[in-house]
Structure 1
Amino acid sequence: MRLSMSVTNFSWRDGALATRLAEIARAADAGGLDGLWVADHLLQADPYGARPGETEMLEAYTTLGYLAAVTGRIQLGTLVTGVTFRPPALLVKAVTTLDVLSGGRALLGIGAGYQADEAAAMGLPLGPVGERFDRLEEALQIALQLWAGDETPFHGAHYRLEHPQSSPAPIRRPPILIGGTGEKRTLPLVARYGDVCNVFDIPDGGATVRHKLGVLQRLCDEIGRPYAEIEKMIATRLGPDETAEAFVERCSAFVELGIDHVGVITTGPWTDAAVATLAEAVPGIAAL
């Protein structure tokens, strides 16, 4: 099992924001964590932080470029980018640039988007739900076409690329994580296009996770895709006083659910102690 962390809150009060972010990222990198994710919002959306807009939020891909420069091995991506934030070609170029400049460490995390309050506050597009999912599927198709080096025109219902090009090419095709677990639109997209499925640690004894992964397996079977090709990642929260030993023990239950990867968030901004707890847990998680 692999372990990564997600930065959702940038409101450090014990040092300059850039300094603290770099320190946290370097500690995660040195500690053996597999991935470092950042939220992609213009306003603070951490449900456990202050009200939206009251605390600091950084633009995601500028932040990931900075993190690429201060780390050496950890994978980098968003959890997740709303498809309406950027035209697909621009998004793919940003992720490709991150991959090239980081030495092949970029991930594409993408979803349909959901923050209506943020969109209204900041003038961001956020169409009807069905349209957003249609756009998401076209964006996924465009990403895979560009990364395959296919320069034939793309004519979709929402996007038209007359001569799509991706130069430089990524060092390796960035893995795609599709956010959400909706059974009508999201999980079918994961089955067709995703490399990573992201489920949530809900306190119901694993019933929801089992159900969602069962749906995904059925969808994979229907289209003839090996279910094992898709990495199953679960999002969970590190408790404020949780020890590395307790965290590993808690994660051991995820193995029985078929989870391959644990992605961790924390209440408020990450602390040095919390990252140290994850780093201490890495060997135990890897052994599960």
Structure 2
Amino acid sequence: MDTALHVADFTPYGGDERIAAGLADTARAADEAGFRTLTLMDHWFQMESMAPATDPMLDGYTALGYLAGRTEHLQLGLLVTGVTYRHPGLLAKTLATLDVLSGGRALLGIGAAWYEREHAGLGVPFPPVAERFERLEEALRVCRQMWSEDDGPFEGRHYRLAETLCRPRPLQPGGPPVLIGGMGERKTLRLVAEHAQACNLFDAGREVLAHKLQVLDRHCADVGRDPAQVERTVISGTDPLVDTDAFLASMAEYARLGISKVWVSPRGVEDLPGWVAAVGERVVPRLREL
């Protein structure tokens, strides 16, 4: 099982002027410690469910471009991009740029978006949930066309592009892998089966995840896709350093379900690079054995 790092809080770095250096140190620590992937959030305001909305929040893709120049091995992405935040043609161009500048390490994590306050706050349209899922499906098709040899038009219900021109193309054949976040059985997991290389599920326990993966397998069968082509991942809310043996036991159960990557995210940690290094020493090698 691979280990991924999700950085969702920039306050431990000790002030706006120290965020850049602290984030770079954190990313380098993850690179050196054997983490497979590093992700940031795609938000304009901090999530109210986690901290005050006024806490610092970086633009995700600008930050990933910065980290691309300070790391060598980490896959870089957002967990996850809201489909409403960027026109899909511009999103595809942004990911292609990140892939080129990182040497082929970009990941497109994407979902239907949910944080209405930040949309209203910055004047960004926030359509009803059914429309957001329609836009998500079209955005995925736009990205794939932009990253292909087809420079022709795209005609959808919500998006119309006269030219899907994207130069340079991503370095990864076919473009960055797509990861769709969420556990909705009717729409989200169906879109995973149709369009994604990976799903990202919440750490909801073995029984819940086993059921969700069965639903995903059925969707794959419906669209004629081998379920083995979809990587199964989970984001954990547990600090693996608090009770490492218990954490690893839980992950072993998930590994038996076919989950091959777990995201960990530090909470209430002042020394983020130090925490990352400790996870790399005490947890990453043991996860890799699962």
TM-score (norm 1): 0.94
The alpha-carbon distance between structure 1 residues 163 and 110, as it changes in their structure 2 partners (threshold 3 A), is same
CA contact under 8 A between 2:266 and 2:272: conserved in structure 1?
no
The alpha-carbon distance between structure 1 residues 70 and 187, as it changes in their structure 2 partners (threshold 3 A), is same
Distance 1:13 1:255 in 2: 33
Structure 2: runs of 5+ lacking an equivalent = none
Instruction: Tell me the secondary structure at the aligned position of residue 86 of structure 2.
Output: coil
Distance apart, 1:241 and its partner CA: 4.8
Q: Deviations over 1:83-103 (max 9, x none)?
A: 110100100111110000000
Q: Deviations over 1:177-235 (max 9, x none)?
A: 01111112111100000111111112xx4111111110000010111100000000011
Other-structure match for 2:207: 207
The alpha-carbon distance between structure 1 residues 126 and 165, as it changes in their structure 2 partners (threshold 3 A), is same
CA contact under 8 A between 1:244 and 1:277: conserved in structure 2?
no
Is 82-91 or 6-15 further displaced after alignment? 6-15
Instruction: Tell me the secondary structure at the aligned position of residue 150 of structure 2.
Output: coil
1:44 aligns with 2:7: no
Distance 1:84 1:14 in 2: 31
Other-structure match for 1:28: 30
Other-structure match for 1:196: 198
The alpha-carbon distance between structure 1 residues 47 and 274, as it changes in their structure 2 partners (threshold 3 A), is farther
Is 109-118 or 252-261 further displaced after alignment? 252-261
Distance 2:244 2:35 in 1: 13
Q: What CA RMSD, in Å, does the superposition of the two structures yield over aligned residues? A: 1.6
Instruction: Tell me the secondary structure at the aligned position of residue 107 of structure 1.
Output: strand
Instruction: Tell me the secondary structure at the aligned position of residue 168 of structure 1.
Output: coil
Distance apart, 1:125 and its partner CA: 1.6
Alignment-mate amino acid for residue 55 of structure 1: D
CA contact under 8 A between 1:243 and 1:277: conserved in structure 2?
no
Other-structure match for 1:258: 258
Other-structure match for 1:78: 78
Q: Deviations over 1:100-151 (max 9, x none)?
A: 0000000001111001112112212210111111110000001111112212
Alignment-mate amino acid for residue 274 of structure 1: W
Runs of 4+ that moved beyond 4 A: 243-246
1:11 aligns with 2:44: no
CA contact under 8 A between 1:84 and 1:113: conserved in structure 2?
yes
Distance 1:247 1:71 in 2: 27
Other-structure match for 2:272: 271
CA contact under 8 A between 2:240 and 2:279: conserved in structure 1?
no
Instruction: Tell me the secondary structure at the aligned position of residue 95 of structure 1.
Output: helix
The alpha-carbon distance between structure 1 residues 244 and 31, as it changes in their structure 2 partners (threshold 3 A), is farther
Distance apart, 1:271 and its partner CA: 1.7
Q: Deviations over 1:139-174 (max 9, x none)?
A: 000111111221221100011111111110111020
Structure 1: runs of 5+ lacking an equivalent = none
Distance apart, 1:254 and its partner CA: 1.2
TM-score (norm 2): 0.93
Identity of aligned residues (%): 45
Distance 2:275 2:131 in 1: 40
Distance 1:238 1:74 in 2: 22
CA contact under 8 A between 1:2 and 1:260: conserved in structure 2?
yes
Q: Map 1:162-173 to 2 at 5 A.
A: 162-172=162-172, 173=175
Other-structure match for 2:62: 62
Alignment-mate amino acid for residue 12 of structure 2: W
CA contact under 8 A between 1:178 and 1:190: conserved in structure 2?
yes
Other-structure match for 1:97: 97
Instruction: Tell me the secondary structure at the aligned position of residue 43 of structure 1.
Output: coil
Distance apart, 1:268 and its partner CA: 4.3
